[in-house]
């Protein structure tokens, strides 16, 4: 309908590539250039609490990929099916400076992936955006429907198993020490 009518009436169009981001490895056709301008020290904090007067960003983050920064991870198929219930805890949000802090991501299966400077910013932006959005939706549900029965614990980390911030910190320290030992033995 619309496409035929637009062509018939020679309606001019302009293509916009900056409205959405999804795949962090895309270098064209998505709005990553806008995200790339946000300093690594700020990107996660900004993504979680957007201020359009500070940075222009795409309107949509398409939650179709796996995103991670350090040990913090989001994969839509790994989110517990009961996330929007009174009993479910909230997800752990990465630190505001996670893109500056981590140059890797660790998936729920324990695989570590090194990230280049551009990709670590994009991964942090996407992970922080998605996790904050899921937490806001879950919190809205809890405020409207759960009363005193709401679980406000923050411990989910991109998989069905819950972790506390202290457990993540301990795992990261162990990983750092292991990497240091590996580099010293070479």
Q: Whole-angstrom Cα distance, residue 79 to residue 89?
A: 11
The pLDDT value recorded for residue 16 is 76
The pLDDT value recorded for residue 157 is 81
**Among 62, 132, 128, residue whose Cα is nearest residue 101:** 128
**pTM for this model (two decimals):** 0.83
Determine how β-strand 104-106 pairs with β-strand 72-75: unpaired
The pLDDT value recorded for residue 162 is 64
The pLDDT value recorded for residue 168 is 74
Give per-10-residue mean pLDDT for the chain (186 aa). 89 83 91 96 96 95 92 89 94 94 90 95 97 96 96 79 70 72 67
What DSSP state is assigned to residue 61?
E
Residue owning tokens 């020679």:
10
**Among 154, 134, 155, residue whose Cα is nearest residue 83:** 134
User: Which residues does 12 contact at the CB level (< 8 Å), separation at least 6?
Assistant: none
The pLDDT value recorded for residue 38 is 98
Q: How far is CA 181 from the centre of its chain?
A: 30
* Model pLDDT for residues 110-123, shown as the tens digit of each residue: 889 999 999 999 99
Averaged pLDDT of the chain? 89
């Amino acid at each position: 309908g619309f496409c035929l009518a637009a062509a018939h009436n020679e309606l001019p169009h302009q293509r916009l590539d900056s409205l959405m981001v999804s795949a962090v490895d895309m270098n064209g056709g998505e709005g990553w250039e806008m995200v790339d301008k946000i300093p690594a020290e700020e990107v996660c904090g900004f993504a979680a609490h957007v201020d359009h007067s500070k940075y222009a960003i795409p309107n949509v983050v398409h939650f179709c990929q796996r995103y991670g920064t350090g040990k913090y991870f989001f994969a839509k198929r790994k989110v517990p099916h009961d996330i929007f219930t009174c009993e479910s805890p909230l997800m752990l949000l990465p630190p505001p400076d996670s893109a500056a802090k981590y140059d890797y991501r660790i998936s729920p299966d324990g695989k570590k992936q090194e990230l280049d400077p551009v990709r670590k910013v994009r991964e942090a932006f996407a992970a922080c955006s998605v996790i904050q959005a899921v937490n806001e939706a879950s919190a809205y549900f809890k405020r409207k429907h759960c009363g005193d029965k709401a679980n406000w614990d923050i411990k989910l980390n991109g998989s069905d198993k819950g972790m506390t911030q202290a457990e993540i910190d301990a795992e990261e320290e162990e990983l750092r020490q292991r990497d240091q030992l590996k580099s010293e033995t070479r």
